[in-house]
Chain A
Amino acid sequence: MEAASDPPGGGPRPNLTRVRTPRSVGESAIKVLLFVAALISVATTVGIVVSLAAETIEFFSQVGIFEYLLGTKWTPLAGGDQKSFGVLPLISGTLYLTALGLIVAVPLGLGSAVYLAEYASPRARRVIKPVLELLAGIPTIVLGYFALTFITPVLLQGILGIEVQIFNALSAGLALGVLILPVVATLADDSLRAVPASLREGAFGLGASKPQVVLRVVFPAALSGIVAGLVLAASRAIGETVVVLVAGGASANLGIDPRESFQNMAAFIAQTARGDIAAQSVEFLTIFAVGTTLFVMTLILNAISIRFVRRFQQVYE
């Protein structure tokens, strides 16, 4: 073969045409399957939002939106004149219980994360970290009954001598705190450990003491991850159902006395949904209205956290 017309380099011209092999067919099939998997999850999300929206719109055709959003009395299941659709007590109850949970979980969680990431010996770490993860695996129903049968009667009424009702925000809040503690601690621990050692060395090299290094360099550098963890924990507490249902009671309460019974949105939904109500009645539709409200709240919280994380995120090479 005369090489003159060949491209530089000579030799026979290689065949680069695509050939269908069993392997390439299999790859195409896998691609389709993966796409279907992604499609199903998107479709599910859309389906949930649409069905939620449809029932919610139906609810607001029967109850005024301002009456719902601004009303201060939530008794949708009561009869006659007592019926009232003010959702504020439920929202405030949700936020209040979440706040109680965070008051417990943030100091404990961040404290254990800083200890684990910065101070614990490898041996201590090997014990503590799995125990924390075990805590995350406790079913919420167990935590709920722990609150109802131990925290309330033994800890609060017995040891601390606080006169709480049998269903009360304090025990539910404490149990919520225990519930989200592992989330706060493990995510904060991960973020702290992700801070490069070079930053610690730089700070030590400038004559900083260990607490100064941790508080002024490592913690701020890990802040975006820590805050993301806190938001995740808060979302978890806002949406928590069983603990509040079992330990918090069933009255929507606009007050702030933690000894009283409180209810949150998710617990209301659970309680109402298993009750004896007629489908398409206005009582039934409240479930969807409250569900939408909860959904919107969690969405806002996530949006805030994403913005926060982006704003403070540090990229380390």
Chain B
Amino acid sequence: MKQVTERPESSSEGRSAESAAGAGPVPAGTQTGNGRTTGPGTDPAAAGGGTAKPSLDTPPVFEIENLNVRYGDKLAVHDVSFGIEERRITALIGASGCGKSTFIRSLNRMNDLIPSATVDGSVRYHGQDLYASEVDAVLVRKRIGMVFQKPNPFPKSIYDNIAFGPRVLGMDGDMDEIVERALRRGALWDEVKDRLKTNAFGMSGGQQQRLCIARALATDPDVILMDEPASALDPISTGRIEDLMFELKERVSIVIVTHNMQQAARVSDMTAFFTVVVDEASGHRHGEVVEYDETEKVFTNPSDERTEAYVTGRVG
């Protein structure tokens, strides 16, 4: 799957195979899914059929209830409640400024780094309230890794980038093995195995982003949050990252913010649509979740007209 021409097919295959079989590698020619055909502007009737719907009975990894996030006294995300399922890819879509990033950053307490940010409501992770006073945000982030919009490797060697997490967490075991395993899981090993000691800044943007994913994998997280991980990348690198996500979801839950409708349709099992709501009295704008459902449903038969307008490209 390293060739340009194979790209779009391989990702939709990945999705459909995943949806149908639940897991496992991509069998050649199983292009029965609607990963691509559910994109904006296509006939909803063409979808469905061969793709098994993501079953909704997987246990939730996150249960979010009445979540509000404020910066200072300004409301950014209002009253979000839904559950994120284990070992699935959940896409967060919506126009800019609708609180997707703020929301995803509240799932591993990255918002703690912004002094003015306050959170109320609850985010339960495997049943445990992440914002309970006894919870250590550092331990939360050990379990819930994050990949950012712009690749942000440390100005260190490739090896040291991967080893950073395991080292700060004091992980046991042979560091060489840990690094190799993470790079293999990040689908980067073959490209970098001969230059592990060189500076990560010498890599291409796509490689840097996969390095950041591999770096997040090195600490064996249970969830990976991705905030527009491919928005700064070319289509080939984007495709590799999407392929990687399919492989990863056998073991980890993934939440991804994306502005790319096709990407959301291709990769995700579940989709949450966020929108901007303007408070008529004060004029403040905040984000809300309009619709949360199986990706197929959100893209082919949305129940809210705002969702439909957005996914078909009429708005936003």
> For window 178-226 of chain A, which residues contact chain B by CB distance below 8 Å?
196, 198-209, 212, 216-217, 220-221
How many residues does chain B have at the interface if contact means C-beta atoms less than 8 Å apart? Answer: 28
Given contacts A201-B113, A212-B168, contact A206 B145 (CB under 8 A): yes
Q: Is A314 an interface residue (CB 8 A)?
A: yes
User: Which residues of chain B come closer than 8 Å to A212, judged between CB atoms?
Assistant: 168
Q: Which residues of B contact A221 (CB under 8 A)?
A: 154-155
Contact B146 A205 (CB under 8 A): yes
The one of A198, A199, A207, A314 in contact with B142, judged by C-beta atoms closer than 8 angstroms, is A207
Chain B residues numbered 193-239 whose CB sits less than 8 Å from any CB in chain A = 201, 212, 215-216, 219
Partner of A207, one of B113, B139, B147, B153: B139
Asked if A216 contacts B152 (CB within 8 A), the reply is no
User: Which residue of chain B has the shortest Cβ distance to A312 in the bound complex?
Assistant: B155
Pair count A-B, CB < 8 A: 70
Known A202-B152, A205-B110, A206-B219: A216·B145 in contact at CB below 8 Å: no
Q: A201: which of B110, B139, B155 is its contact (CB, 8 Å)?
A: B110
Given A198-B152, A200-B113; A209-B138 close (CB under 8 Å):
yes
What's the Cα separation between A107 and B202 when bound, in Å? 33
Assess A204 versus B110: contact at CB under 8 Å? Given A216-B164, A216-B168. yes
For the complex, what is the distance from the CA of A315 to the CA of B110, rounded to whole Å?
25
Contact B108 A206 (CB under 8 A): no
Any chain A CB within 8 A of the CB of B126? no
Supposing A201-B110, A202-B212 touch, asked if A207 and B152 sit within 8 A by C-beta, the answer is: no
Q: Are A209 and B168 in contact (CB under 8 A)?
A: yes
Using Cβ atoms and an 8 Å threshold, which residues of chain B touch A209?
Answer: 138, 168
Residues of the A chain whose Cβ atoms lie less than 8 Å from the Cβ of B251: none
A217 proximity list for chain B (CB < 8 A): 154, 164
The residue of chain A having its C-beta at the shortest distance from the C-beta of B153 within the complex is A202
Q: Please, how many angstroms separate the alpha-carbon atoms of A224 and B168 in the complex?
A: 23
B189 at the interface (CB under 8 A from A): no
Complex: A116 Cα to B167 Cα, angstroms: 27
Asked if B156 is an interface residue, CB under 8 A from chain A, the answer is yes
Bound-state Cα–Cα, A198 to B113, Å: 12
- Least CB distance from B255 to A in Å reads 13
Q: Is the CB of B156 within 8 A of A220?
A: yes
Complex: A220 Cα to B164 Cα, angstroms = 13
The closest CB in chain B to the CB of A209 belongs to: B138
Question: A199 vs B212: C-alpha distance in the bound complex, in angstroms?
Answer: 11
CA distance A221 to B160 in the complex (A): 13
Confirm or deny: B148 has a beta carbon within 8 angstroms of a beta carbon on chain A: yes
Q: Are B164 and A203 in contact (CB under 8 A)?
A: yes
Q: Which 8 A-B pairs have the closest CB atoms?
A: A207-B142, A205-B146, A206-B165, A198-B152, A314-B155, A202-B152, A208-B168, A207-B141
Residues of chain B having any CB pair with chain A under 8 Å: 108, 110, 113, 138-139, 141-143, 145-148, 150, 152-156, 164-165, 167-169, 201, 212, 215-216, 219
A positions within 8 Å CB-CB of B: 196, 198-209, 212, 216-217, 220-221, 314-315
Other than the given A199-B155, A205-B216, 10 more pairs (CB < 8 A) read: A201-B113, A201-B146, A202-B212, A203-B164, A204-B110, A206-B145, A209-B168, A216-B167, A220-B155, A220-B156
